[in-house]
A and B are shown apart, each in its own frame.
Chain A
Amino acid sequence: DTGVSQNPRHKITKRGQNVTFRCDPISEHNRLYWYRQTLGQGPEFLTYFQNEAQLEKSRLLSDRFSAERPKGSFSTLEIQRTEQGDSAMYLCASSLTRGTGRRTEAFFGQGTRLTVV
């Protein structure tokens, strides 16, 4: 297993276009998270899946954002009608339910850097 994989690594899009990002978590991990990281800041939580169920969405996730995790495997994050303020790094992380302490640590992908022009 090669860890959490995200595609594409970079995306440049024109304002108003739709974009979709993909995350492939570590295979046995049932929890999946999306974060957004703007320049000079730490990542901020966007949404959380346990298996295929999207159990929580942050208030940062506007109506233009939608995320799915069909069959509890890979996940997609779609942004409709992109705006310049959507420019950021979008990070995906996965973790296991079992265990406590560091054993539920999150493993992150390398992120997708979105630039809206």
Chain B
Amino acid sequence: AQKITQTQPGMFVQEKEAVTLDCTYDTSDQSYGLFWYKQPSSGEMIFLIYQGSYDEQNATEGRYSLNFQKARKSANLVISASQLGDSAMYFCAMRDVRMDTGRRALTFGSGTRLQVQP
């Protein structure tokens, strides 16, 4: 079974500073995909960044980058130049594939609440 662990229930960061949100995972699959989603108070899960287990380079999407350390089974999200609008819940997730049905659901961690302070 897959498991995602996010050990930081809450984080504070000053506006314009960088922040790292931790994520470790456990899987027996050789091929897997890792995601980060942002959930503002409105409730919608917003896709931020994706990392495939065989991708040679760490993923980047604008101010978001993923520090992928495969041997340590960690996939930390780095947000550079934090903005007030970044205040939200952040979830790390792993794709959970079932080949016979084609299901590609996501297994989520418990999330980290990020608060950006002016």
Chain B residues in the interface with A (C-beta under 8 A): 4, 33, 35, 37, 42-47, 50, 52, 91, 93, 95-96, 98, 101-111
| A42 contact from B46, B91, B102, Cβ within 8 A | B91
Let me know if B101 and A42 touch, CB within 8 A.
Answer: no
* With known contacts A105-B47, A109-B44, A110-B42, A43–B108 Cβ distance under 8 A: yes
Interface size class of A (residues with CB under 8 A): 20 to 34
Beta-carbon contacts of A77-115 to B below 8 Å, as 1s and 0s?
000000000000101010101000110111111110100
* A48 beta carbon closer than 8 Å to chain B: yes
For B93, the chain A residues whose CB sits under 8 A away are 42
Chain A residues in the interface with B (C-beta under 8 A): 9, 31, 33, 35, 40-45, 48, 50, 55-56, 89, 91, 93, 95, 97, 101-102, 104-111, 113
| B50 contact from A45, A95, A102, Cβ within 8 A | A102
| A31 contact from B43, B47, B52, B102, Cβ within 8 A | B102
Let me know if A45 and B91 touch, CB within 8 A.
Answer: no
* With known contacts A42-B93, A101-B33, A31–B45 Cβ distance under 8 A: no
